[in-house]
Amino acid sequence: MIYGDGIRLRAIDKDDLPLFVEWLNDPEVRHGLMIYLPLSQTEEEQWFDAMLKRPQEEHPLVIEVNDQEQWIPVGDCGLFGINWRVRSAEVGIVIGDKSRWNQGYGVKAVRLLLQHGFGTLNLNRIFLRVYENNPRAVRSYEKAGFVQEGCMRQAHYQDGQYFDVILMSVLRQEWKKGGRNG
Contact 96, 103 (CB under 8 A): no
From the number of C-beta atoms within 10 Å of its C-beta (0-12, 13-18, 19+), residue 13 rates as exposed
Q: pLDDT tens for residues 12-38?
A: 999 999 999 999 999 989 888 888 888
Residue 37's pLDDT is 87
pLDDT 10s digits, 41-100: 999 999 999 999 999 999 999 999 999 889 999 999 999 999 999 999 999 999 999 999
Class of domain 2-126: alpha beta
Instruction: Select the more confidently predicted residue: 33 or 109.
Output: 109
pTM score: 0.91
Predicted pLDDT at 65? 96
- Three state DSSP letters for 84-152: CCCCEEEEEEEECCHHHCCCCHHHHHHHHHHHHHHHHCCCCEEEEEEECCCHHHHHHHHHHCCEEEEEE
Q: Is 16 exposed, middle or buried (0-12, 13-18, 19+ CB in 10 A)?
A: middle
